[in-house]
Each structure stands twice: as structure tokens, then as C-alpha cells.
Amino acid sequence: MSVINFLSAGAIPLIIITIIFYGLKEKQKVFDIFLDGAKDGMEIVIGLFPTLLGIFLAIGLLRNSGILDFIINLISPITNLLKIPNQILPLAMLRPISGSASMGIAVDIMEKYGVDSLIGKITSTIMGSTETTFYTIAIYTACVKIKKIRFVLLAALLADLAGMITSVIICQIMA
Amino acid sequence: MLNIIWPIFIIIAIIYAFFTGNIENLSNGIFDSAKSAVELTLTFFGTICLWNGIMEIAKRTSLMKKLTKILQPLINFLFPDLNNNKQAKEEISMNMTANLLGLGNAATPLGLKAMKTMQKENMKKDTLTNAMAMFIVINTASLQIIPTNVIAIRSSLGSQSPSGIILQVWIATIVAAIVGITATKILMKRF
């Protein structure tokens, strides 16, 4: 277990030092470049805020009205059978459709059940290991004006499902 | 998509709250959600800027080229149809490298370029080729070394160990990618 902890804790510092080392070796002005990148980051975050606000409003309303719990209870027989914690259902359903919406839901879940709880970890793992499938397929096909996408949606959704089920199992094992 | 989902969520929630007597609770929550959006954005601000800065350095060194080279055998396996299309393979490997490094913003333009290059050799212009299908499925699988956004969210929520889920994410991503690739390889022969 300590190897795993070391890997988790050490991965980020190791990557940072490798990158900076390479920058120095190739005589780059690393700090100036860092500032450039950070500036771009500001634009990303500012651009994200309005979407996040809108999604938080909608998800907050859904949760506070009580309808989210109602729907979760409705589907729980199926998820109990598959041993999926039903608190993550809204996330699983929205994850392939909208990146910012699923991020809003993920934060909502982690705030409610605790970020370091099993549900919080499963939520984090799902967010880290899946993509906004519909959006990705849409932009990649639209740029070359392709309409017939054959089996791509099916294969991508299968991958998402596998990622989600693995997230649930692996978090339970490593809890 | 959100132009439909967003209003539906709001309308359903408000109507449901009226009928179940939850309306006060719902009303109180409205401004809380604005507050949470600001709080999350503020924490995001630091982490995303930091990571973007570090990755900008990676982008301007030979590190990116090295990673691209390492990926070559994998790309030959995944895209056997592209053997003569050097340009497409190069763009694909740069897209994958950018994805691996968590450079989503750099990965997308590179990916679109690769799609355009592959489209040039596509016989049926309105249909995906096998290589294109594989490329899109891989891009939906979110292969990345550091799940930056998730770590940012976790630290903003006061996690004891924000990066403590890295290993779980790696395992889940790899399983998802293997399933996606296998499904694509099987399905491309039939459809």
C-alpha cells in the first residue's frame, strides 16, 4: 500500500521537476514561459465560470426540490443489483453529455457525501477517467462534415461504461 | 444539448417543489448555488493556471517530441490503415501526447487537424474511415497522466489527499481505453 501512496503523492512533484529540468537543459526562460501558460489558464477559468454558474443553479434546484432523490430512489433497484452506489447515478447519466454539467454534479455529490468518502472517491475517479463523449464526437466529425459515424458512439459509450464500472470497483478495493 | 436540458431541469425542479411543499428550501438554495460556483472557480483559478504554466514549459521543450516518439509503436498498432500517411500519424501522436499531458486546449486543435488530414484520403467523404473511428474513440477515452481538473476540485473541497485518486484514475482510464479500442477493432469489421 505504501508504494501506491508514494506513487500518488510523488507523481505530480516528479512530473514538475522533469519538465523544469528539461526546460533548463534546453536553455529556455522557464519562468517567462510559465507566466505565459498561467495567463492562458486564466482565460480558461474565466470562460468556464458562466457555464458553471448556470449548471450549479439547475443542479441546486433539482436537489433542493427533492426530485433528484425521487428519481434516484426510482432507479435504485437496478443499481443495487449492479452494486453501483445510486448517489452517483446523475453523474453517470450526464457525464457523456456535458463536461461542465457533470463537473457541477460531481462537486455537488462530493460536497454532500464528503470528498474523501467512498462515494467522493468514486465520483473523482469517474470524472478523471471519462470524457464528454457526445461533445468530442460532435466536434471531431463536424470539422470534416462527416454525418455517418458508424459504430463510434456505441464503442465510446461502452468505454465510458467500462470506465465507470471500473471506477466503482477499484475504489471499493482500494478504500 | 444544454439549451434543452438546462430549462427542463429548472422547470421540473420548480414545479416539483411547488407540489411537494419544498418551495422554501428550493428558494433558499438559489443563491447558495451562485456562491458555490464562485468558490469553485476561485480554487480552480489557482490550480488550472499553475498546471497550464508548467505544461507550457513541457510544450516548448523536446519533451513533447520524445513522448510522441515513444507512442509510435502504439500508433502503428492502432492505425494500420495509415501506414503511408506520415502526416496524419504525426498529428495523431501529437494529439495523444497533448491529451496525456492534460493539455486539453492544445489537444483539440491538433486532433481536428489530424481529422482533416485523414479526410483527404477518405473515399466516402460523408462516412468515418476505420482510422478516424479509432481516433475519435481514443479521444473520448480521456487518457491523461495527471487528472488536473479532478485534483483541483478535490483540493477546493478540502480533501485530505487531493491527488490520492491518481492510481484509481489510471486504472479506470486504461480499462476504458482497452474496452473502447477492442470494441472499435471488432465493430469496424461489421459496420
Question: Could you tell me if A105 and A55 lie in one domain?
Answer: no
**Can you give the pLDDT at residue A110?**
93
Q: Is the pLDDT of residue B2 over 70?
A: no
**Can you give the pLDDT at residue A4?**
65
Question: Could you tell me if A34 and A77 lie in one domain?
Answer: no
Using CB atoms within 10 Å of the CB of residue B133, give its burial: 0 to 12 exposed, 13 to 18 middle, 19+ buried. Answer: buried
How would residue A123 be classed by pLDDT, with cut points 50, 70 and 90? very high
Question: Could you tell me if A135 and A84 lie in one domain?
Answer: yes
Interface of B with A in 91-150 (CB under 8 A): 105, 108, 111-112, 115-116, 118-119, 122, 124-128, 132-133, 135-137, 139-142, 144-147, 149-150
Domain interval for residue A45: 1-59
Cα four-point dihedral sign A154, A159, A165, A168: negative
Question: Could you tell me if A92 and A175 lie in one domain?
Answer: yes
What are the tens digits of pLDDT across the range A154-165? 999 999 999 999
What percentage of chain B exceeds 70 in pLDDT? 98
Q: B188 is written with which cell numbers?
A: 469496424
Residues in chain B closer than 8 A to A141 (CB atoms):
115, 128, 136
Contacts 24+ apart (CB under 8 A), A138-141: A139/B108, A139/B112, A140/B111, A140/B112, A140/B115, A140/B132, A140/B135, A140/B136, A140/B139, A141/B115, A141/B128, A141/B136
Question: Could you tell me if A83 and A48 lie in one domain?
Answer: no
Question: Could you tell me if A28 and A43 lie in one domain?
Answer: yes
What are the tens digits of pLDDT across the range B157-166? 889 988 889 9
From A105, A97, A102, A72, select the one nearest A87 (Cα to Cα).
A72
Interface of A with B in 17-46 (CB under 8 A): 18-20, 22-23, 25-26, 28, 30, 33-42, 44-45
How would residue A45 be classed by pLDDT, with cut points 50, 70 and 90? confident
Average predicted confidence (pLDDT) for chain B: 88
Return the domain boundaries, chain B.
2-190
Question: Could you tell me if A151 and A128 lie in one domain?
Answer: yes
Alpha-carbon gap, residue B158 to A173, rounded angstroms: 23
Are the C-beta atoms of residues A104 and B11 closer than 8 Å to each other?
Answer: no
Question: Could you tell me if A89 and A42 lie in one domain?
Answer: no
Alpha-carbon gap, residue B85 to B118, rounded angstroms: 8
* Length of chain B measured in residues: 191
Q: Is the pLDDT of residue A8 over 70?
A: no
**Can you give the pLDDT at residue A167?**
95
**Can you give the pLDDT at residue A173?**
92
Which run of H or E residues covers position A151?
Answer: none
Question: Could you tell me if A52 and A117 lie in one domain?
Answer: no
**Can you give the pLDDT at residue A93?**
82
Average predicted confidence (pLDDT) for chain A: 87
Question: Could you tell me if A107 and A167 lie in one domain?
Answer: yes
Contact across the interface for A23 and B61, Cβ inside 8 Å: yes
Contact across the interface for B112 and A127, Cβ inside 8 Å: no
Question: Could you tell me if A41 and A91 lie in one domain?
Answer: no
Q: Name which of B10, B54, B140 is nearest A156 (Cβ-Cβ).
A: B140
How would residue B172 be classed by pLDDT, with cut points 50, 70 and 90? very high
Higher pLDDT: A52 or A96? It is A96
Question: How large is the average pLDDT for residues A40-68?
Answer: 84
CB atoms within 10 A of CB B90: 17
From A145, A54, A106, A164, select the one nearest B124 (Cα to Cα).
A145
How many separate domains does chain A show?
Answer: 2
**Can you give the pLDDT at residue B5?**
78
Q: Given the cut 0.85, state whether the ipTM is greater than it.
A: no
**Can you give the pLDDT at residue B109?**
80
How would residue B122 be classed by pLDDT, with cut points 50, 70 and 90? very high
Q: Is the pLDDT of residue A1 over 60?
A: no
What are the tens digits of pLDDT across the range B49-62? 887 888 889 888 88
Question: Could you tell me if A126 and A51 lie in one domain?
Answer: no
